């Protein structure tokens, strides 16, 4: 959200330092790069908490030797108790060693003298750890997307959601394919079943949300798309953002099924995703669209790690080799799911997920493996510890 021409990946830094020479030294080191943006230097420690609330830095550096009414380590202690807690790096001298202790709000230490390399590295490291911490315990949102229709997005999203639910993650499936609401058809829900449109427009509460979720017999909760095509445009990206932020609090995994064309709403679901699971098939036009989409994602500024590729119907290659596909998209696809026409058509027609109907089928095991790799890693460890 930072303005002033800064990029989304920039780390926003605030420095609390009352020695002008040291402040100048840090400024000088940071001038040579653009990864870290120094928002301000504050010389009076008592003013730091208010400035942090206002400027919302990603990382704060506090000089342990800060003088005045608010001493350096006193400020660190105060910041450690604040909510939300901002990651703090303590700057000190060898004569007064300080050790990193995240429990006490010291996420990193820099001892004078340090190089620009040390400075930038330490800031990035502390920032990265803080981000991981804040994502832990939060819902993982996986947006399933394909830049081409009919390649299995809805089928995979539904079965993936059921599989993550089976693996113990509280899961909600969101029908982000708003015009045709693919999941309504698939699950044969009654036309009057509530949808995303039944949410209040201003303040959505958790209770409102549970009223509009469809509880599928497969065990997962589903937020349906509007019942009629022309209603799709009543849903805005603001609605998407609000819905997602509430779902993140109530669930451990959010799986979104999307339409294959880029609308504002589809982009909203892609933006919000922790991970985009992009479907590819061995088909020239799909591959062409996949390459084009990779260019678009790059232009938007998505890091490559935000996207993982899933080759659907990976065993029916139609003459295109996996290597050709990998060369075309410039990556080795992370996941493959085999095809099983009979089982998929039968279970889709019955509205049951094949991962439940035929758990031993190769296609089911493939999807279960994808689920485990996307949300299962942390949970498997928890399960094993029990």
Ligand X SMILES: Nc1ncnc2c1ncn2[C@@H]1O[C@H](COP(=O)(O)OP(=O)(O)OP(=O)(O)O)[C@@H](O)[C@H]1O
Residues that bind ligand X (CB under 6 A): 146, 149-155, 177, 182, 260, 312-313, 337, 339-341, 344-345, 348, 363
Nearest approach in angstroms of CB 228 to ligand X is 17
Give yes or no for a contact between 191 and 274, defined as CB atoms under 8 angstroms apart. Answer: no
Question: Residue 150's binding partner, choosing from Mg ion, ligand X, none, with beta-carbon cut-off 5 to 8 A by kind?
Answer: ligand X
Question: Residue 171's binding partner, choosing from Mg ion, ligand X, none, with beta-carbon cut-off 5 to 8 A by kind?
Answer: none
The H-or-E segment that residue 186 falls in is helix 182-187
Nearest approach in angstroms of CB 173 to Mg ion is 12
Nearest approach in angstroms of CB 300 to Mg ion is 22
Give the nearer residue to Mg ion in terms of CB position, either 73 or 279.
279
Question: Residue 337's binding partner, choosing from Mg ion, ligand X, none, with beta-carbon cut-off 5 to 8 A by kind?
Answer: ligand X
**Which single residue brings its beta carbon nearest to Mg ion?**
154
Examine residue 113 and say whether the peptide bond preceding it is cis (omega within 30 degrees of 0): yes
Contacts of 107 (CB under 8 A, 6+ apart): 87, 88, 89, 100, 126, 129, 130
Give the nearer residue to Mg ion in terms of CB position, either 47 or 228.
228
Give yes or no for a contact between 45 and 16, defined as CB atoms under 8 angstroms apart. Answer: yes
Among the listed residues 174, 164, 131, the one whose alpha carbon sits nearest the alpha carbon of residue 252? 164
Nearest approach in angstroms of CB 341 to ligand X is 5
Give the nearer residue to ligand X in terms of CB position, either 73 or 183.
183
Alpha helices, DSSP H, located in 58-205: 72-81, 116-135, 153-166, 182-187
Other C-beta atoms lying within 10 Å of the C-beta of residue 167: 18
Footprint on this chain of Mg ion (rule: CB under 5 A)? 153-154, 182
Other C-beta atoms lying within 10 Å of the C-beta of residue 268: 22
Question: Residue 339's binding partner, choosing from Mg ion, ligand X, none, with beta-carbon cut-off 5 to 8 A by kind?
Answer: ligand X
Output DSSP code: residue 57: -
Q: Which two tokens stand for residue 333?
A: 């696809």
Examine residue 66 and say whether the peptide bond preceding it is cis (omega within 30 degrees of 0): no
Give the nearer residue to Mg ion in terms of CB position, either 17 or 182.
182
Question: Residue 152's binding partner, choosing from ligand X, Mg ion, none, with beta-carbon cut-off 5 to 8 A by kind?
Answer: ligand X
Nearest approach in angstroms of CB 343 to ligand X is 8
Nearest approach in angstroms of CB 320 to Mg ion is 23
Give the nearer residue to ligand X in terms of CB position, either 145 or 251.
145
Q: Is 63 helix (H, G, I), strand (E, B) or coil?
A: strand
Give the nearer residue to Mg ion in terms of CB position, either 107 or 182.
182
Q: How far apart are CA 134 and CA 139, in angstroms?
A: 11
């Amino acid at each position: 959200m930072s303005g002033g021409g800064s990029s989304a990946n920039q780390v926003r830094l605030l420095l609390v330092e009352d020695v002008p020479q040291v402040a100048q030294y840090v400024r000088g080191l940071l001038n040579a790069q653009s990864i870290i943006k120094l928002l301000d230097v504050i010389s009076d420690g008592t003013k730091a908490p208010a400035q942090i609330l206002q400027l919302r830095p990603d990382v704060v550096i506090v000089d342990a030797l800060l003088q005045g009414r608010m001493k350096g380590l006193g400020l660190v202690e105060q910041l450690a108790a604040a909510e939300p807690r901002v990651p703090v790096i303590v700057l000190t001298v060898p004569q007064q060693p300080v050790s990193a202790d995240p429990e006490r709000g010291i996420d990193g230490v820099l001892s004078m003298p340090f190089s620009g390399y040390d400075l930038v590295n330490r800031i990035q490291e502390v920032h990265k750890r803080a981000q991981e911490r804040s994502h832990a315990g939060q819902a993982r949102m996986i947006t399933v997307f394909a830049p081409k229709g009919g390649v299995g997005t809805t089928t995979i999203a539904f079965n993936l959601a059921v599989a993550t639910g089976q693996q113990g993650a509280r899961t909600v499936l969101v029908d982000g394919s708003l015009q045709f609401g693919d999941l309504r058809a698939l699950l044969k829900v009654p036309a009057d079943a509530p949808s995303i449109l039944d949410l209040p427009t201003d303040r959505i509460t958790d209770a409102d949300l549970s009223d509009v979720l469809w509880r599928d017999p497969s065990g997962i909760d589903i937020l349906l798309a509007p019942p009629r095509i022309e209603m799709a445009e009543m849903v805005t990206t603001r609605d998407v953002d609000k819905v997602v932020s509430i779902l993140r609090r109530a669930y451990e995994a959010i799986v979104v099924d999307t339409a294959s064309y880029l609308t504002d709403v589809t982009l909203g679901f892609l933006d919000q995703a922790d991970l985009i699971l992009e479907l590819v098939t061995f088909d020239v036009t799909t591959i062409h669209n996949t390459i084009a989409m990779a260019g678009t994602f790059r232009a938007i500024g998505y890091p490559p790690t935000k996207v993982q590729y899933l080759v659907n119907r990976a065993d029916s290659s139609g003459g295109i080799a996996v290597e050709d596909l990998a060369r075309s998209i410039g990556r080795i696809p992370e996941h493959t799911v085999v095809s099983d026409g009979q089982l998929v058509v039968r279970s889709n027609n019955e509205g049951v997920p094949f991962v439940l109907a035929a758990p031993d089928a190769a296609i089911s095991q493939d999807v279960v493996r994808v689920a485990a790799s996307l949300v299962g890693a942390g949970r498997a460890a928890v399960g094993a510890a029990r």
